[in-house]
Structure 1
Amino acid sequence: MHFQLTDDQRALQAGVRELLAGRFGRDALRAAVDQAGVDGSGARLDRGLWRELGEAGFFALRLPEADGGVGLGLPEAVLAFEEAGRALLPGPLVATHLAAGTVPGAAEGLTVVTAVDGTLVEWLDEADVVRGDASGAVPLRSVDPLTPLHRVLEAGVGNPTAPADGPDSAASDTAVLLTAAEQFGGAARTCEMAVQYAREREQFGRPIGSFQAVKHLCAQMLVRTEVARAAVYAAAVTADPLDIAAARLLADEAAVRGARDCLQIHGGMGFTWEADVHMYLKRAWVRVRRGQGTTAPEESLAADLLVPEKR
């Protein structure tokens, strides 16, 4: 099967990257993190950026043109969310994207939509619409200052992607895949950061990238990232629930282990608030918890392995 991107898909990916680089580059990211503070109490959603994303078609990518959308498919959405992951773009992106066409203003970026995801809700205080039952939610200190969280105390309420009137497995699978795309984007970025630092940082009169231990770390990061890329892109084409489950597990591993390895390559500097590495690790940890974390994908794949072969 041929998984090479088309010229239009490359143009879309480049356009999203250019938009985010200009509107939410490193300076904007650091300003947002500094405003949020270590505990995330000062985190605020940039409504102007949200509207710009809406105007660019980010939320309406998969909405039919007849309904005012862009009319593209799941592969294109995956490419857009990959770029969002690279940029550490904050906000309930997945929930708002899935609400386009059903919640007024979501497609245009005029309405911020969040959703109850198991027992967690992202950006509850900043959201205009909450999908699912968030009654009784209490603030929860998030490891990621740019992902404020609330915990829903009642067991069994909410759904990461469903409308308030019931679950939607197709939408849930899409949410899992888009989260995997964000994770993969973060993994790709930390791999680039690690290689760049290994080339520039010198020890004993030579770049640390020339040392075998550092080479191995970078090589392992690249392998995990490329495996995750193949899995995420393939799942976007097939839209098969099992492919999506596998992509989610591989992308989570690439994001978390990649950020840890990147931090190790940066040494003591990587642990500091001023460095960007810790933000990728923290965001990866938070994304792992989305949609029941890795448990649901693992259970799906395990159940498929136990099904007797059909003859």
Structure 2
Amino acid sequence: MTFTAEQEALRDSVRKLLEREADPWPDLCEQIGVAALAVPERFGGLGAGTAELQVVAEELGRVLADVPFLGSAVLAVHAVLATGDDETCARLLPRLAEGTVGAVAWADAEGQWGDPACRASGSTVDGEAHYVLNGDEAEILLVVAGGSLYEVSGHRAVRTPAMDEIRRLARVTFDHAPARLLGPVDLAALRDVACAVLAAEQAGAAARALELTVEYSKQRHQFGRPIGGVQALKHRMADLHVLVETARSAAYAAPESSRLAAVAKVYCSEALATVAGEMIQLHGGIAITWEHPAHRYFKRAHGAAQLFGAPGEHLERVRPTVS
């Protein structure tokens, strides 16, 4: 797994900006152009690939940044591109590239992402979509209904409470909401891209959780020496290091095929859950305090595992079919 000089520069720029900005989204868009990464140059973007999106997502995952990157710069942009309609792309993509927040609605109340929760009839959309990333603050709301993508207005969006308070989710209700047909959309391909980028975010969160744990093991003393010097704990942290690195490899391999996207979703979900759980165990009592970030990584691990389908659902896509 190697990165180009441009990708490393992108990583460095994003990390430095996140270190100094409490509200990073405006500067991420204006100074680095993260919202424009996946937008083709002819529509005002940078024309980058999925790997660049993953580099940014990994850095955002490290600090659990509260920004609409996954919902807008990834999902909304790729949904619009999937329609293949130049007029739609020319109208919406420049706005998304500038940082206007977009959202894509399709999951149902049970968290099923395989089939759209809403239905279209003529020029209106009905139904209720759940777990809509940044749906309550989106200026451009896109809805998947049937095999097509619609731009909808006149909807009602309510932010829904979640275990992971940093991940902004919404429930969006449509009651004969005016809808504009944009074109067909391959929902499976859209979900594969989302899973690939989410996997990189999970790998970044796991890496940072492990770093914090290793740092703490060098500071916490028992019986006159750092707990990090205990052989059994060294072995546990070494195993976690291997888990994190293989998760990164799985994440960056995900764009190669739909099957590898499913592998990344399963493996990175399990990796982050394992590292976050060990983070709490190895920190001891301080890890269950509200002030310590361990609980945030633990919540992100379990919330992200369900996003775009639970690991078990994706595991079915990985298993070979028996004839």
Structure 1 length as normaliser, TM-score?
A: 0.79
- Structure 1 residues 130 and 66: alpha-carbon distance in aligned structure 2, compared to 1, 3 A threshold: closer
CA distance in 1, matches of 2:47, 2:193: 16
Mapped pair 1:266 → 2:241: no
CA distance in 2, matches of 1:86, 1:229: 13
Aligned counterpart, 1:53: 28
**Preserved contact between residue 117 and residue 290 of structure 1 (Cα < 8 Å):** no
Aligned partner (choices 68, 78, 91) of residue 92 of structure 1: 68
Mapped pair 1:233 → 2:208: no
**Preserved contact between residue 140 and residue 150 of structure 1 (Cα < 8 Å):** yes
CA distance in 1, matches of 2:27, 2:104: 18
Q: How does 1:39-188 map to 2 (within 5 A)?
A: 49-55=24-30, 56-98=32-74, 99-100=76-77, 102=89, 103-104=92-93, 105-119=95-109, 120-132=131-143, 140-151=160-171, 166-188=185-207
CA distance in 1, matches of 2:98, 2:281: 41
Q: C-alpha root-mean-square deviation of aligned residues, in Å?
A: 2.5
CA distance in 2, matches of 1:208, 1:22: 32
Give the match's secondary structure for 2:105: strand
Aligned partner (choices 292, 295, 301) of residue 284 of structure 1: 301
Question: How far is the alpha carbon of 1:65 from its aligned partner?
Answer: 1.8
Equivalent pairs: percent with the same residue?
36
5+ residue gaps, structure 2, are 81-88, 110-130, 145-151, 175-181
Give the match's secondary structure for 1:291: coil
CA distance in 1, matches of 2:206, 2:279: 10
Moved more, 79-88 or 140-149: 140-149
CA distance in 2, matches of 1:50, 1:113: 16
Question: How far is the alpha carbon of 1:167 from its aligned partner?
Answer: 4.2
**Preserved contact between residue 106 and residue 113 of structure 1 (Cα < 8 Å):** no
Aligned partner (choices 183, 203, 211) of residue 192 of structure 1: 211
CA distance in 1, matches of 2:159, 2:40: 37
Aligned counterpart, 1:256: 273
Question: How far is the alpha carbon of 1:274 from its aligned partner?
Answer: 0.5
In terms of fraction of residues, the more strand-rich structure is: 2
Question: How far is the alpha carbon of 1:188 from its aligned partner?
Answer: 0.5
Moved more, 267-276 or 64-73: 64-73
CA-to-aligned-CA distance 1:86-123 (integer Å, 9 cap, x gap): 11012432220132364352211133435344432233
Question: How far is the alpha carbon of 1:137 from its aligned partner?
Answer: 6.8
CA-to-aligned-CA distance 1:185-230 (integer Å, 9 cap, x gap): 1001001111111111111110000113322321121111011111
**Preserved contact between residue 118 and residue 291 of structure 1 (Cα < 8 Å):** no
CA distance in 2, matches of 1:213, 1:164: 57
5+ residue gaps, structure 1, are 29-45, 155-162
When Rg is computed on C-alpha atoms for both structures, the one with the higher figure is 2
Question: How far is the alpha carbon of 1:169 from its aligned partner?
Answer: 2.5
